[in-house]
A and B are shown apart, each in its own frame.
Chain A
Amino acid sequence: MRRIFQIAGTETECALLHNGSHFVLNRPDGTIPCQLDPAGMPGGYVLRSGGQVHEVRVAVGPEATFVHLNGRTYEIGRVDPAERLAGSDGAAADDRIVAPMPGVVVSVAVKPGETVEEGQALLVIESMKLETSLCAPRDGVVAEVPFAAGDSFGLKANLVLLAPEED
């Protein structure tokens, strides 16, 4: 059973297996035995892996698992490889500028049809009282700017679409 885990921007594909006596995690660098047992505190577990024992606190969200380990908190994105294949809409990630936060458009610097260079400011947004400039991820041509100055948008809204690159 496979999962893609995303930690600090890095994706790793793993498989969880059970060999009859214990779980093992099969990852590109090899296989590690692992065991997770509930502990007393809410969300508390004891993790045994590779000869080490750790206390962890865990909360499982819809798309990510949050783990408190050794005084730090980590977020691990979970992707089911099968769902990723089924859910892909064909648009490449660098074709769109996605809202990092819900907010309001302050100003728009480009129009559809305009040629832009990588790093060029496309629009300014405001989220939680902070102004942020969003820049082109690559050279290209603006296909669509769905929002105008003053419009509100939600998290992950497409703020600018670039025309797909020709292969």
Chain B
Amino acid sequence: MGISKLLVANRGEIAARVLRTAKARGLVAAVLRHASEQEGPAHLIADEVVMIEGPTPVAAYLDIAQIVEAAKRIGADAVHPGYGFLSENANFVAALEEAGVTFVGPTSDVIDLMGDKVRARAFVEERGFPVAPSAIEDDDPATFVERARAVGYPLLIKPSAGGGGKGMRVVREDSALEAEIETARREGERYFGDGRLFVERYIERPRHIEVQVMGDGQGNVVHFWERECSIQRRFQKIIEETPSPALSPEQRLDICETAAGIARAANYRGAGTVEFIYAQDGGFYFLEMNTRLQVEHPVTEMVTGFDLVAEQLRVAAGEGLSAGQADIPQNGHSIELRICAEDATADFRPAIGDILLLDEPAGEGVRVDSGILGGGKVTTDFDPMLSKLIVHGRDRTEAIARARQAVQNYVILGVTTNTGYLDAILAHPGFASGDVSTGFLAEEAETLTAAGNDMSDLLMAVAALSDERLVAEVMQIPELHRNMGEWRN
């Protein structure tokens, strides 16, 4: 079952990150590319680039038959799905299995189970792990609205097949319930092709804490500690860190062992993440399990010293895990910032543009997992996340200081990004105190997007002096006129 050639069925920063580990392990590594897609770091690292086709680039990356065919054609004996796209698609896993290609991830049964939020919740609840009060449409669609009402306000509506915050709605008043259910259903149908919903009690000022787990499929499961992911905009994380500043050592062990217990109950294989809602009173409830590598996995790597992709490849190759629980430390503190092409002052509207200048930070304790190259274009074809900046420090204070310094030195010119906004979050006393909830960014929106010192004079001077046409015109004016010219104001 050894692996000698790996196809990475993904793109952007995660493809580059997986390719690096694959090559470091001596594998021949290939990656996909759609014709309309820019060259990225992944294409520079890969030994082989396989072109895929589709009406849109996203459609190509979701085309199971085409990707399985590509894997066979190039002689790949394994496929790593990254995150997103086909990473949690049981049909993809089954199709690879049929083609005799190893899927780097869990079995299709477990993907199916955890991919259905309703079944996953029931599975967890039946085994005695904590879940929040809820109502499931499928149990009895005719009484769904009534049962939703009985859960109590505020409540949260979610698509059963959902993920990533898509289609999620908080309802605080009964009068809005039915309209919000319809909106969520429409979004569920559009994003996931499945309009079934469920609601659960919305925990006020919750934290989002998740636990990295890894199983060998033979009953051995270890955890790689928790990640705090409460800094979210539009239900999507933009800053993650580990350890969580909220947990005492006892609570940390409790939540991590609960997660490992859930994975063990599912006889989990590969890397996975158990997500919890953590209430202000210290209670925590199972939210969902993601059966793939997470975007924010690097913070875990920084504090444990383990390469999670290497562990995934070991498990897929039948070599088992490289360590037992006692060998997995949590050293120092790590923070990840998601660098996105978006305008934080305009409701995080995605931005497009050309990357005219790119200079990524480096230095002690600084890691950049980037999906972009200078000269590239940022389009609307894919998610607005461009790269991830990850830092490590001896403690949280040092990690925050390093993160601020690195994000301030992250130069991306030509497209609007959230680097200034991320720095404003890191500088906020509420973030420094660690007393945050998933509502933090919305509550502090005004402070976080406030204009800084007025730099207009300096900026206008730069814009004028770097405008070659303007400077040339100014210098062409005869000296006499120069001395007297344009003083009309």
Contact = CB atoms under 8 A, between A and B. Distances in A.
Given A36-B465, A36-B466, A16 B471 contact: yes
A137 interface: no
B463 interface: yes
Contacts of A74: 455, 459
B326 interface: no
Contact of A7 (B350, B412, B459): B459
Contacts, number: 179
Interface string A86-121: 000000000000001111000000000000000000
A70 B455 contact: yes
Contact of A42 (B359, B461, B463, B466): B359
A61 B462 contact: no
User: Which of B234, B423, B486 has the most chain A CB atoms inside 10 A of its CB?
Assistant: B486
Given A20-B479, A72-B408, A127-B350, A1 B460 contact: no
Contacts of B409: 71
Given A26-B489, A43-B357, A128-B350, A18 B475 contact: yes
B356 interface: yes
B218 interface: no
Interface in A41-76: 41-43, 45, 47, 49-50, 52, 54, 56-61, 65-76
Contact of B457 (A49, A65, A73, A75): A49
B363 to A, nearest CB: 15
Contact of A41 (B359, B408, B417): B359
B466 A71 contact: no
Nearest to B347: A132
Given A3-B467, A7-B459, A66-B413, A73 B419 contact: yes
B442 interface: no
Contact of A49 (B407, B461, B470, B485): B461
Contact of B482 (A19, A57, A102): A19
Contacts of B357: 42-43, 57-59, 66
Contacts of A54: 458
Contact of B411 (A12, A73, A101): A73
A76 B463 CA distance: 7
Give the interface size bracket for B toward A.
35 or more
A118 to B, nearest CB: 19
Contact of B420 (A7, A10, A73, A103): A73
A135 to B, nearest CB: 13
A75 B415 CA distance: 9
B417 A73 contact: yes
B383 interface: yes
Given A65-B462, A101-B380, A129 B413 contact: no
A163 interface: no
Given A5-B463, A17-B474, A71-B423, A59 B482 contact: no
16 contacts: A1-B474, A1-B477, A5-B463, A26-B487, A41-B359, A47-B461, A52-B458, A57-B359, A58-B462, A61-B414, A66-B414, A67-B413, A68-B413, A71-B409, A100-B349, A155-B352
Interface of A: 1-3, 5, 7-8, 10, 12, 14-20, 23, 25-28, 32, 34-36, 41-43, 45, 47, 49-50, 52, 54, 56-61, 65-76, 78, 100-103, 127-132, 155
